[in-house]
Structure 1
Amino acid sequence: MTTFYLVRHGEPDWDINEKYKLKGHGRDLVPLTQLGVEQVYKASKDERLQNAQLILSSPYTRALQTAAILSKELYLEIQVEFDLREWQPDLTFQYDSLEQLKKLGTDFDLNNGNYPVGETRLWESKPMMKARMDGVINKYLNYDHVIIVGHGMAFRTQYEIDDIPHAYIIEYRK
């Protein structure tokens, strides 16, 4: 059995999105705030992470920065896995405002992450997210302890929790 430590990234600097009017995946390029950096340094001291053999990371900046801090503190290699990316609120990659993101997120939540029967939505469904997360996790079942640095919505496909704080650690066994 493998123990995965799902570590949500530290607090990101979302203000950059509005300042630069970033669109689509450009909105995922924001770094951590200073508080976010401090959150990750604190998480790196958690006893559960000390036995990890590898760090897997989402390709998004906030996750990579989090993984880099953990890598430095825990002396572990980082493997970037594209399928650990966060929920895609707009599969056309056209959304460009916090208001649009909130509307798409609200629709996702109202439908519990599932498309209504006979309908499709712009957003990535929970089953789609779970399938890609499971695909990554299943590749690393030959390890005993693995850190996965990623995102709240994606982690919620593996573990039932309403809200995951920044730099929070969830133990997940498979």
Structure 2
Amino acid sequence: MTQFYLIRHGEPQWVINEQYKLKGHGRDLVPLTASGVNQVFLAARDERLRDADLIVSSPYTRALQTAAILSKELGLDIRIEFDLREWQPDLTFQYDSLERLAELGNDYDANQGVYPPGETKLWESKELLRNRVEKVIDQYLGFQKVIITGHGMAFRTLVGEEAEIPHASISEYTKVNT
């Protein structure tokens, strides 16, 4: 049995996206705000994280910065997993504004993350996202305690949470090696 501690990244500097008119994955390059950095330092004090074996991180800047802070505070190595990236609102990588992101997110929510019969959507379905993240998690079932830094939507699919997961919060996820 492996205990996973899913830590959503700290608060990101989303304003950079609008300032530079970033598109697609370029929107995922923003670092944490000063408040976001402080959120992660506070999370690092959580006793549940003691004696973890390693940190596994999404490749996005906000998650990597979160992992780096935790690594420094807890003395753990970091492994980066591309498939821990956040939910993809636009599989064509063309969205370029908060408004478009909100439209895609609202459509996802209206359909509860499931493609309507016979339809294809721009966004990644809940099933595709969950399968992608679980495939990564399964690689770490040989460990006792693993910290994963990543994203709210990705973690929500694992823990069954419908509400937004707060920045730098810790969710527990246990999985048995079968």
Q: Aligning the two structures, in what range does the TM-score lie when normalised by the shorter sequence?
A: over 0.9
The aligned counterpart of 1:168 is 169
2:39 paired with 1:39: yes
Alpha carbon RMSD of aligned pairs, Å?
Answer: 0.4
The aligned counterpart of 1:157 is 157
TM-score, normalising length: structure 2 = 0.97
The aligned counterpart of 2:18 is 18
Looking at structure 2, the residues matched to 52 and 104 of structure 1 have their Cα atoms a distance apart, in angstroms, of 36
The aligned counterpart of 1:49 is 49
The aligned counterpart of 1:97 is 97
SS at match of 2:36: helix
SS at match of 1:156: helix
The aligned counterpart of 2:147 is 147
Number of residues paired by the alignment?
174
Structure 1 residue 63: deviation in Å?
0.1
Looking at structure 1, the residues matched to 170 and 55 of structure 2 have their Cα atoms a distance apart, in angstroms, of 13
Looking at structure 2, the residues matched to 78 and 168 of structure 1 have their Cα atoms a distance apart, in angstroms, of 19
Looking at structure 2, the residues matched to 87 and 171 of structure 1 have their Cα atoms a distance apart, in angstroms, of 19
SS at match of 2:159: coil
SS at match of 1:158: helix
Correspondences of 1:57-68 after superposition (within 5 Å): 57-68=57-68
Looking at structure 2, the residues matched to 9 and 131 of structure 1 have their Cα atoms a distance apart, in angstroms, of 21
SS at match of 2:39: helix
SS at match of 1:90: coil
Structure 1 residue 160: deviation in Å?
1.6
Gap runs ≥5 in structure 1: none
The one-letter code matched in structure 1 to 2:89 is P
Correspondences of 1:122-137 after superposition (within 5 Å): 122-137=122-137
2:14 paired with 1:2: no
Structure 1 residue 72: deviation in Å?
0.2
Gap runs ≥5 in structure 2: none
SS at match of 1:114: coil
Structure 1 residue 163: deviation in Å?
1.5
Structure 1 residue 51: deviation in Å?
1.7
SS at match of 1:51: coil
Moved segments of 4+, more than 3 Å: none
The one-letter code matched in structure 1 to 2:75 is Y
Looking at structure 2, the residues matched to 23 and 9 of structure 1 have their Cα atoms a distance apart, in angstroms, of 20
Looking at structure 2, the residues matched to 168 and 113 of structure 1 have their Cα atoms a distance apart, in angstroms, of 23
Percent identity, aligned pairs only, is 69
Looking at structure 1, the residues matched to 107 and 18 of structure 2 have their Cα atoms a distance apart, in angstroms, of 22
Structure 1 residue 168: deviation in Å?
0.3
Looking at structure 1, the residues matched to 44 and 4 of structure 2 have their Cα atoms a distance apart, in angstroms, of 15
